[in-house]
Amino acid sequence: MFEIKRYERLTENIFLADIYSPRVAKVCLPGQFVICRTGEDGERIPLTVCDYEREKGTVTVVVQEIGASTLKMGRLREGDRLTDFVGPLGKPSELTETPLEELKKKKIVFVAGGVGTAPVYPQMKWLAERGVRADAVIGAKTASLVILEEEIAKVAGRLTVATDDGSRGEKGLVTDALKKLVGEGNRYDLCVAIGPVVMMKFVSLLTAELGIPTVVSMNPIMVDGTGMCGACRLTVGGKIRFACVDGPEFDGHEVDFDETMKRQRLYRTEEGRAYLKAKEGQTHHGGCGLCGKEE
């Protein structure tokens, strides 16, 4: 069983937890995710790694209560235990595989929306530990929903906070803040955008106009976490991919966001899931990441 070593409520429906899992903590990297369950009959919950401490054997996750399973997990406290905590899953951020000398030459900006701030933090922390300070834009609807601002500020070169209502930082969307940064003369070699799918879509549209290569993390569309359910099927550069086994990171300028959002809507109902399975046939799920795919 996997003990909760620390529990912190970040907002009304978002909480942070440090989970004791030495094996996962020993090998996980920014960009990867885990799957947890709160009981033998519990639903599988994919969660992005927010942080980790290898010496203590803990992995930090940030959870938004959006369903029965995450609500049940939110009722746990320090000393309680999870039934399962499996990982690390998915591919690490491409930044962790880029030569350090090359990274030091890049000007990078991270754009995060809502809970997307959680997976942005470990990537920025990993870079800062290696002497690379990236800029960051974090956004939310209102001030009470801004998370991890202090943590991001400690590892960022420059931090901009944007809220829809202007109650914290600049008023407007993250795309407005990014456009302003570029307008002030900042030039970026890479943008990493993580947040709601619609947010990543519009960030990618903007960066395409600005000529900034962009990476997006498609973790919001994962359900099963192993490629078997078909929920995270998406089209990238005209090819079928699965966020949980082929990603979760992809080229934001090649993701078909409109198709992805349409599939998300259909997948919410039993009838919609049956329709997608019948329509997509053998390409409906990814299995090991190689099954049912044609190049």
Pair 120, 201 in one domain: yes
User: What DSSP character marks residue 292?
Assistant: T
- C-alpha distances in Å from residue 157, one per residue of 100, 127, 128: 17, 11, 9
Tally of domains within the chain: 3
User: Quick check: helix, strand or coil at residue 196?
Assistant: coil
241 strand-pairing partners: 234
Could you read off the pLDDT of 10-53 as tens digits, one per residue? 988 899 999 999 999 999 999 999 998 888 777 888 888 999 99
* Pick from 141, 131, 45, 119: nearest CA to 85: 45
- Residue the block writes with tokens 């569309």: 221
Pair 121, 154 in one domain: yes
Q: pTM value?
A: 0.86
236 strand-pairing partners: 239, 255
Pair 100, 186 in one domain: yes
Average pLDDT of the chain is: 87
Could you read off the pLDDT of 229-287 as tens digits, one per residue? 667 778 899 988 888 888 889 999 999 998 888 877 655 666 655 645 665 566 666 65
| Structural domain boundaries, residue 116 | 94-216
Pair 41, 107 in one domain: no
b/e 211-243 (16+ beta carbons within 10 angstroms → b): ebebbbbbbbbbbbbbbbbbbbbbbbeeebbbb
Pair 69, 122 in one domain: no
- Choose the final residue of a domain: 89, 115, 135: 89
Could you read off the pLDDT of 98-119 as tens digits, one per residue? 999 999 999 999 999 988 999 9
